[in-house]
């Protein structure tokens, strides 16, 4: 097992062989992956060294001190946080070797084709169909997906589709990797309340997917998707932040810099939210420590719940603090951003964009059920359709 001293030595050898100041950024990232210093806990040959996950911080700190480039993790967050763990767990050796390296270096952006117009919160009710071509063994996929972040810039997508409509809705689903450049894939922008089109709807018409790009067994896509969804909630709700990182930072700065806006009532509410934001941040640190020992569990759902509620309450208080000034909106033009920027825009943007936090990555209502059932051990809600074939469900 690789220890901290060995990792530090390997990192310094990487820096000596590929000085950041004179090495092309893409070349450095590829060399870092090949040296096993991308995800140190991944297997050798796949960006890692089989080392404890906790030792990643040793590598990251040494590289940051040397001015080495990172892989712009916010831009490729779906690939890093959702696709990669799923590919690692369920992909064949060929799939892992083909996709993990360009995913980590950012050469190929990923998106997630899960939600549908008729199957958002009830994702297992999805209707996108994948039919086996008996001649070639490929899968022919037809359907529609919605709320797809980064689809307009993505090269690949993780996709779940129904392969057996005669089975109940949680069964008969299969998980695939979809080529977003296929001529059968059409991406259309969805304009949001912010004026942007950060999300998309995606239409799939006779998209051909080779069976080699299937993750997990046929009909077991729901089980595979749980890996993705659990990691997604951790990625959204459990991101590493410094003190006063995230939404609490801008309002705290405004409070310090604009004493004329202060009132006793707002002061008390801001203090309460500041404490809650700090508690949430520290709970996220504990969650990441738990991840070192295994796969994410329902704790990620609790973190995502806290993230959504706090963002909405903090942004609402910020608009109230600024008064009329808080109603201003700096840019209403139709833009197609690759990244969501909560802190680099004005208060009006943060207030509007945070409304989506309780929907994306699992609605608040669904996550409350997960916490109730899997954390608190409360009785499950009645599910009358659990054993009914998908084709017989009312729609």
Active site residues: 232
Of the candidates 282, 288, 217, the residue with the CA atom closest to the CA atom of residue 57:
288
User: What are the beta bridge partners of residue 162?
Assistant: 129, 173
Q: What are the distances in angstroms from CA 276 to CA 243, 244, 247, 272?
A: 12, 11, 12, 6
If DSSP states are collapsed to H, E and C, what string results for 62-128? HHHHCCCCCCCCCCCHHHHHHHHHHHHHHCCHHHHHHHHHHHHHCCCCEEEECCECCECCCHHHCCC
Of the candidates 178, 220, 284, the residue with the CA atom closest to the CA atom of residue 90:
220
In this structure, are residues 224 and 215 in contact, taking their beta carbons and an 8 Å threshold? yes
Tell me, rounded to whole angstroms, the distance of Cα 235 from its chain centroid: 5
Which of helix, strand or coil describes residue 357?
Answer: helix
Of the candidates 84, 88, 140, 143, the residue with the CA atom closest to the CA atom of residue 110:
84
Tell me, rounded to whole angstroms, the distance of Cα 145 from its chain centroid: 17
């Amino acid at each position: 097992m690789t220890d901290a001293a060995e990792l530090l030595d390997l990192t310094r050898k990487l820096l000596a062989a590929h000085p950041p100041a004179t090495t092309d950024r893409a070349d450095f990232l590829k060399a870092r992956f090949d040296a096993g210093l991308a995800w140190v806990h991944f297997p050798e040959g796949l960006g890692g060294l089989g080392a404890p996950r906790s030792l990643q911080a040793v590598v990251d700190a040494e590289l940051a001190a040397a001015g080495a480039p990172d892989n712009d993790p916010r831009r490729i967050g779906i690939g890093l946080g959702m696709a990669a763990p799923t590919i690692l767990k369920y992909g064949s050796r060929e799939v892992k070797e083909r996709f993990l390296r360009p995913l980590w270096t950012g050469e190929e952006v990923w998106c997630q084709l899960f939600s549908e117009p008729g199957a958002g919160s009830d994702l297992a009710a999805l209707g996108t169909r994948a039919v086996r071509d008996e001649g070639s063994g490929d899968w022919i996929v037809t359907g529609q997906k919605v709320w797809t972040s980064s689809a307009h810039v993505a090269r690949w997508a993780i996709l779940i589709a129904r392969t057996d409509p005669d089975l109940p809705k949680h069964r008969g689903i299969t998980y695939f990797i979809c080529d977003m450049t296929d001529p059968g894939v059409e991406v259309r922008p969805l304009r949001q309340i912010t004026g942007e089109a950060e999300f998309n709807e995606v239409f799939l018409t006779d998209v051909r997917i080779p069976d080699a790009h299937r993750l997990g067994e046929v009909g077991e896509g729901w089980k595979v998707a749980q890996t993705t969804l659990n990691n997604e909630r951790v990625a959204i709700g459990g991101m590493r932040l410094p003190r006063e990182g995230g939404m609490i930072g801008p309002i705290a700065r405004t409070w310090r810099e604009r004493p004329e806006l202060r009132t006793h009532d707002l002061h008390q509410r801001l203090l309460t939210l500041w404490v809650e934001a700090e508690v949430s941040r520290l709970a996220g640190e504990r969650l990441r420590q738990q991840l070192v020992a295994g796969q994410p569990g329902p704790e990620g759902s609790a973190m995502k719940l806290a993230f959504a509620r706090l963002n909405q309450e903090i942004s609402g208080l910020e608009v109230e603090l600024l008064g009329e000034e808080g109603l201003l909106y700096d840019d209403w033009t139709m833009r197609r951003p690759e990244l969501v920027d909560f802190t680099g825009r004005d208060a009006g943007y943060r207030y509007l964009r945070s409304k989506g936090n309780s929907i994306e990555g699992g609605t608040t209502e669904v996550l409350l059920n997960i916490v109730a059932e899997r954390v608190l051990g409360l009785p499950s809600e009645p599910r009358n359709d659990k054993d009914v074939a998908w084709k017989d469900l009312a729609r």
